[in-house]
Amino acid sequence: MPRCWLRSWTVTILSLDAGSLRSTMHGFADVLSSHREVLNLLNVYPVPDGDTGTNMYMTVESVVAGLDQLEDGSDMATVAGAISHGSLMGARGNSGVILSQILRGLMEVMSGSGGDHGPVDGRVLADGLASASAAAYTAVMRPVEGTILTVVRESSTAALSAAEAGGDLLSVAATARAAGGESLERTPELLPVLAEAGVVDAGGSGYLLLLDALLTVIDGRPLPDPPEVSGPGGGFSAESHPSVQEGTRYEVMYFLDAPDESVPGFKEEWDSLGDSIVVVGGDGIWNCHVHTDEIGAAIEAGIAVGRPHRIRVTDLYEEVEEQAWVRDNIDDGGPTDPVDCAVVAVANGEGLRQIFRSLGVRRVVLGGQSMNPSTTDLLEAVEAVPADQVVLLPNNGNIIPVAEQVDGQTDKTVRVVPTRGVTEGFASLLEYDPRGTADGNAAAMATAASSVLAGEVTVAVRDAASDAGAISEGDHLGLSGGKVRVIADSLFAVTTGLLDAVLTDEHELVTLIEGVDADEATTASVVSWLEVGHPDIEVETHVGGQPLYPYYLGIE
């Protein structure tokens, strides 16, 4: 019986062309969007690494954005190239980087098909899935079974068997999907943390949605609805399974411009610094991902072989800001009524954003130490605020030069107050007049910012020398004026030591801003120390939620 009689309302295609490949990626983006929260709940391995569903969706969203810029009628090679490039440049998180490599491996095979090169039929699809699996395994320093890698490999093996038996496009795709589904169900048998949580692998679940989208294009079957997630408490979360939070603390990601021959040595260097290493790319540009406790060393390894850029650091235990950061780098929760002069500030931490909003800031660009926004990020925020004149508060010395480029890229008048820390930014806003001009505001706000003595408390990520003495990895550091002023072995000791070093009889107010690594007991002890040793000084504490820096200090 002809297949069309069995599926009377659909037409099964026998090969993919450029248009159907584009449709597949649009369908993949749609189904990832609807399944995003379900995939996020499944995310368990190896520590909370952002949100798997969100990271995969954002990666494919970048692909779709690139495809939408192509002309209608673009050939297979052009479409496949856009998918490869978009997935590499848009990859987010560990799962997104692996997905990008899967897509690149698949497109490498498909780009040589179509048109005069022959159809993208069952044989080509099977070869493409095998290439995708090989590329994914190559990208990971230490492949772990029970993850997306296993699901891709076992689905591609089944696809190859179907193709060798003479299967057509539908048969190969359906066989790959069925085998992948069975593989996914076995992932808890291979990875104990999944069995503990009562879930299957999140990345593997996301990959199967690619095959679902492909089958929708091939024979018109509907995209699957999001399933109910079963497991402890209805789903998995890091809070309900704190044992997952063992191991390295931070996720470091960046693009690396480097010669291809230098990458093996770079990967070996990263191997000594952390785990969950994924390095994908080629032809001089690489997308790099690692979990590590040594942020500085991970970045320096890139500097040693090339040029790291678009560097992002995430606290894996707290999942600090990642979803918002990777989405559009702009927090649009500020007021929208028009003003003569608006303020755009840079900050990283929910508490900091709330404080800036309360002081009249219209847009907060997510960024700060180790998360420096680009000129484009700042320009987008400037263009979004309801004012023709704008003041920028970079709140970080590394961001000041970038902020100063914005005025030349827009028709708006933009002035930069060169704040080097958030406490300077807060002080500057006490002189902000929304009815004033950018020039007038910038002058008054800069004067106010200069009246603040800023300090920072952090932890050393490597051994180093300083004017305050030798620094060992793990030491607590107190900084002011861009220099290390105090080295100590505890958070309390370094904070009080820094205050003792910079406070004078002329100071009247100390503002203490807590980061994610601060604790109430230490904060209370620091406040008590100030009350006893400096009874004439007023103390204010705020919850900033910033990563990497347990305390920001402002002294006036």
Domain ranges of the chain: 12-236, 246-323, 328-450, 453-555
Encoding tokens for residue 147? Answer: 């993850």
Per-residue HEC secondary structure of 45-83 comes to CCCCCCCHHHHHHHHHHHHHHHHHCCCCCCCHHHHHHHH
> What's the CATH architecture for 12-236?
Alpha Horseshoe (1.25)
What is the pLDDT at residue 32?
A: 93
Q: What is the rounded average pLDDT of the residues 385-408?
A: 83
Identical fold for domains 246-323 and 328-450, yes or no, is: no
- Please choose, from the candidates 452, 417, 430, the residue with its C-alpha nearest in 3D space to the C-alpha of residue 552: 452
Residue 510 dihedral angles phi and psi, to the nearest 5°: -120, 125
Confidence of residue 112 (pLDDT cuts 50, 70, 90): confident
> What's the CATH architecture for 453-555?
2-Layer Sandwich (3.30)
Interval 497-540: pLDDT, tens: 889 888 888 888 888 888 888 888 888 888 888 888 888 888 88
Q: Please say whether the beta carbons of 194 and 44 come within 8 A.
A: yes
Domain 328-450 class, CATH top level: alpha beta
Q: Please say whether the beta carbons of 129 and 149 come within 8 A.
A: no
User: Is pTM beyond 0.95 here?
Assistant: no
What is the pLDDT at residue 369?
A: 57
Domain 246-323 class, CATH top level: alpha beta
Positive or negative, the Cα torsion across 184, 186, 191, 197?
A: positive
Encoding tokens for residue 497? Answer: 């030591």
Q: How far is Cα 530 from Cα 499, in angstroms, rounded to an integer?
A: 9
Contacts of residue 481, Cβ cutoff 8 Å, sequence gap at least 6: none
Q: How far is Cα 552 from Cα 542, in angstroms, rounded to an integer?
A: 10
Q: What percent of the chain has pLDDT over 90?
A: 31
Interval 400-454: pLDDT, tens: 776 787 888 789 999 999 988 888 888 888 889 989 999 999 999 999 888 888 8
In whole angstroms, what separates CA 373 from the centre of its chain?
A: 12
